[in-house]
Structure 1
C-alpha cells in the first residue's frame, strides 16, 4: 500500500483524562501500522479537577484540539465543536470516523453525516451510562439519543459482552452492528514488593489493600472506605492505599486524615506499577463498569482482586480463580478481602492465575490487531457500497 492509499482514520474523543479510554487511544496511536493507516487523533481539553493522561505519561502524541469539546454539555461550545469537526472532516476526508465517549460520539457521528464524506462510522462504548449516572428522565433521554445515533453508525464496539448485552436490551443498535473488542494494556516493569512499599512509605509486613481509579460517584469510593472500616475491625494492622483523583477527592481525603497511618492517598501516579507491587489485594467497588483497566493491570502485576460484579468485570476476573466477586454488600466484600489477606497461599495462586490470564487475553498487541482488522473490514465494506464515480480519495 502506497502512502496515498492509506486508510484514513479520524479518531475523536471528548478529552484525554486519565482512564481507560485514553489508555486505549494512546495504545493505538503508538502502535497502529503507519504504512497502512493515516490515523489522526482529535480531542478537546481536560476539565479542571481531572488529571491529563498526556501530561501524566509525558506522551508526545500529536492531538488536533477541537474548540469547545470537553466533558461538560454547553450548547454554544457543542455547536462550535460540531461546525469545526465538519470542516476538519471535509479537509481530511477520512474513510473511517472512530468516536469514543458519549459526547464525542454524538458530535462526531452527526458531523460525519453533515459533512457528506461517506465515511464509515464506528463508536466505542467503554461502558455505558445506563446505571449509576442519571435520573430516570435523563436516562430515558440518553437511551433515545443513543438509539438514534446507532441508526447512523456502521459498527458499535463494546469492551465486553455484558456491556453489549446491556445496550441491546435497552434497544440501542442491532446485534449485527456490534463488535466486542476487549481493552489492551501494557504494564511497565513491576518493582520488588519491598522496594515498592518503601517508596510508598508502607510497612513491610502489614497487609495492604489498594484502590486504583477515579474518585467519582459511580466508582463508589465511599463503599471502599466502608469496606475498609469493616476489614479494620478484624485486621487493625491493615493499610489502604488510594491511587487516583476526581471530584470526591476532598471527601476521601477527610476520611484518610482521621487515620493517616492507615490510609495513604497518593493522587494520580505515573508509576502505577509501584502501587500494584505494594498491594496484597486490589479492590474495586463500583456501581457500574465497562471492562476496568485497573483490574487488568492488577492481574498483570500478579495481584488478586475483590470487586463488585458489575458490567463486564466477570470477563476480567474469573471468580474464585483469579479473584473474588460479590454484590454491593459491605460485609460480603469485606469477607472476601479478609479471606485473601489471611490465606496467603490462596492469594498467591490467584495472583499467578490472574497474571497468566490477563497477559494472554488483554495485551495491547491484541487490541491493535483487532482494531486494524475492524478498520480493514469497514474500509472494504465502504468501498463496495460506494456509488460508481463517487470517490472518497
Structure 2
C-alpha cells in the first residue's frame, strides 16, 4: 500500500502514566500494521510521583508532546492546548482522531470538530468517573460534559459491557455509537516462584498477597491495608507486596504501623511479572474500575484474584472459576483472601483456570485486530458518505 493512501490516525491521551490506558496505547502503537496505518501519538507529560509507562517499558515509540496536556485542569493552559491540537490536526489531516482519558477526550474531540477536517472521532472509556471520584455537583458537570462530547463522537469504545451499560444509564451517547473492545495485554516472561521471591527479598515459604496499581483514592489502598491487618490475625506469617505509587503512598506507609515487617512497598517496577510470580493471591480493593489490567496480568501469570465486584471486573474474574469476587466490605475481602491462602488446592485450580481464560481472551493481537477493524469501518463509512454527498475525496 502506498504511504499516501494509509489511514492516518491521531491518538491523543493526556499522559502515559503506568496504567491501563497507557498499556493499550503502547500495544496499539507497536502492533498496528505500518503499511496500512500512519499512527501518531500525541500526549502530555507524566506528573511527578507517577510511573512513566514509556520509560519503564523502554519504549521506542515516537511521541508528539503537547504542552499543557497533562493531568491538571488549568483553563488558560487548556485553551492554549486546544489551539495547539487544532493546528496539529490541520497539519496532519488525520482520517481518525482517537482520544483516551477524560481531559484528552474533551480537548481532542473539541479540537477535531473545530479543525473542520472531517476526521472521524473515537473516544475510549477505560472506565468512567461516575462513581468514587467527584462530589454530586462535580459528577453532574462530568455527566453533562460527556453527554455533549458524545454528540461530537462517531464511536464510543468501552473496555467492557458493564462500563457501556453504566454510561448508557447516565444517558451518555446512544447504543449504536458504542463498541466494546476489551483490553489486550502482553505479559513478560514469568519467572518461577523461588526466583521471583529471591529477587524481591521475600521468604520462600510464607503466604504472599500482592497489590499492583496506583495508590490513589478510588483504588482504596486504605482498604487493602485494613484487609491485610485482618488477614494477619488469621495468617500471622503472611507478607504483603505493594507494587505501585501515587499521592497516597505516605498515608499507606503510615497506616501499616507495627506490622511493617509484613509489608514490602516496592514502588513502580518494570518487572511486574516478578511480583505476580511471587504471589499466592492478587488483591484488588477498588471502589470503581473499568477492566483492570492488573487482574488480566495476574491471570496470565496463573495467580487467582480476590477483587471487589465493580465496573467490568466480573468480565475478567469469573467468580468461583478464576478468582473470587466480593462487595467492598474489608471483612468480606479478608475472608475470601484467607480462604485461598488456607486452601492451596483451590487457589491452584482457580489460578490455572485464570491463565487459560485470560490468555485466550485478552491478547494484544486481538486488541490490535479489533481496533484495525474499527478504523477501517469508519474510513469506509466516511468514503461512502463523501461519494453520496458528491464532493471530492
Both structures adopt the same fold (TM-score exceeding 0.5): yes
Aligned residue in 1 for 2:168: 168
Shift of residue 388, structure 1, vs aligned partner = 2.6
Aligned residue in 1 for 2:248: 248
Unaligned runs of at least 5 residues, structure 2: none
Shift of residue 257, structure 1, vs aligned partner = 5.7
- Measured on the aligned residues, the alpha-carbon RMSD in Å equals 0.8
Separation in structure 1 between the aligned mates of residue 29 and residue 257 of structure 2, nearest angstrom: 40
Shift of residue 259, structure 1, vs aligned partner = 2.5
User: Secondary structure of 1:209's match?
Assistant: strand
Which residues of 2 match residues 1-393 of structure 1 at below 5 A?
A: 1-256=1-256, 258-386=258-386, 387-391=389-393
Shift of residue 42, structure 1, vs aligned partner = 0.3
User: Secondary structure of 1:228's match?
Assistant: helix
What are the Cα deviations for residues 114-155 of structure 1, in whole angstroms up to 9, with x where unaligned?
A: 000000000000000000000000000000000000011000
What are the Cα deviations for residues 44-88 of structure 1, in whole angstroms up to 9, with x where unaligned?
A: 111122111111111111010011110010011100110000000
Separation in structure 2 between the aligned mates of residue 87 and residue 105 of structure 1, nearest angstrom: 17
Separation in structure 2 between the aligned mates of residue 177 and residue 25 of structure 1, nearest angstrom: 21
Separation in structure 2 between the aligned mates of residue 390 and residue 102 of structure 1, nearest angstrom: 34
Shift of residue 330, structure 1, vs aligned partner = 1.3
Q: For the Cα contact (< 8 Å) 1:256–1:264, is it kept in 2?
A: no
Separation in structure 1 between the aligned mates of residue 26 and residue 390 of structure 2, nearest angstrom: 37
What are the Cα deviations for residues 331-368 of structure 1, in whole angstroms up to 9, with x where unaligned?
A: 11111001100000000000000000000000000000
Q: For the Cα contact (< 8 Å) 1:256–1:265, is it kept in 2?
A: no
Q: For the Cα contact (< 8 Å) 2:225–2:256, is it kept in 1?
A: no
Question: Normalising by the residue count of structure 1, what TM-score does the alignment of the two structures yield?
Answer: 0.98
Shift of residue 385, structure 1, vs aligned partner = 1.3
User: Secondary structure of 1:118's match?
Assistant: coil
User: Secondary structure of 1:4's match?
Assistant: helix
Separation in structure 2 between the aligned mates of residue 231 and residue 67 of structure 1, nearest angstrom: 46
Separation in structure 1 between the aligned mates of residue 201 and residue 257 of structure 2, nearest angstrom: 16
Question: Normalising by the residue count of structure 2, what TM-score does the alignment of the two structures yield?
Answer: 0.98
Separation in structure 1 between the aligned mates of residue 52 and residue 210 of structure 2, nearest angstrom: 22
Shift of residue 389, structure 1, vs aligned partner = 2.9
User: Secondary structure of 1:261's match?
Assistant: helix
Unaligned runs of at least 5 residues, structure 1: none
Bigger shift: residues 271-280 or 249-258: 249-258
